[in-house]
Amino acid sequence: MNKKFKVELLEEVNEFLDALNEKARDKIIYNLRKAQIVNDNELFKKLNDNVWEFRTLHNKTKYRLFAFWDKTDKTQTVVISTHGIEKKTVKDTEKGN
C-alpha cells in the first residue's frame, strides 16, 4: 500500500508511548500507520492551520498525538508528531443523555 506521508516521532512522543500499556501503544501505532494510507478524520484530523492530531480511542481513553506538516523538503511529505496526551472520555450518563 502506498503511504501518503512519512511520520517522524520526536523523543517526547516516544517517551509518551513507552509509558503506556502495550495494548494502548499498539493501537495508537496501528492507527498512525492506517492514517498514512486512508483519509479518515477519526484517525488524523486538522485542528487549525498548522496543527493536526492523530486520534485513537482505546478502552474509553482518547489518545492524541499532535503533529505538524514539514514543508521544507518537496521530495517527500513528512508529518512530525511532537507530543502526546491522553484524556478520559465522557460517559453517556455524564452528558445528560
Give the tens place of pLDDT for each residue, 11-52.
999 999 999 999 999 999 999 999 999 999 999 999 999 999
The whole-model pTM stands at 0.84
β 44-46/52-58 pair status: antiparallel
pLDDT digits (tens, 9 = 90+) for 75-95: 778 999 999 999 866 655 444
Asked if 16 and 83 touch (Cβ cutoff 8 Å), the reply is yes
Domains and CATH numbers, the chain: 6-90 (3.30.2310.20)
First-last CA distance in the chain: 42
Beta strands in 1-97 (DSSP E): 6-9, 44-46, 52-58, 61-70, 78-88
* Eight-class DSSP state of 2: -
Question: Alpha-carbon distance 84 to 63, whole Å?
Answer: 7
Confidence grade of residue 96 (pLDDT, cut at 50, 70, 90): very low
Asked if 61 and 87 touch (Cβ cutoff 8 Å), the reply is yes
For residue 1, is pLDDT > 80? Answer: no
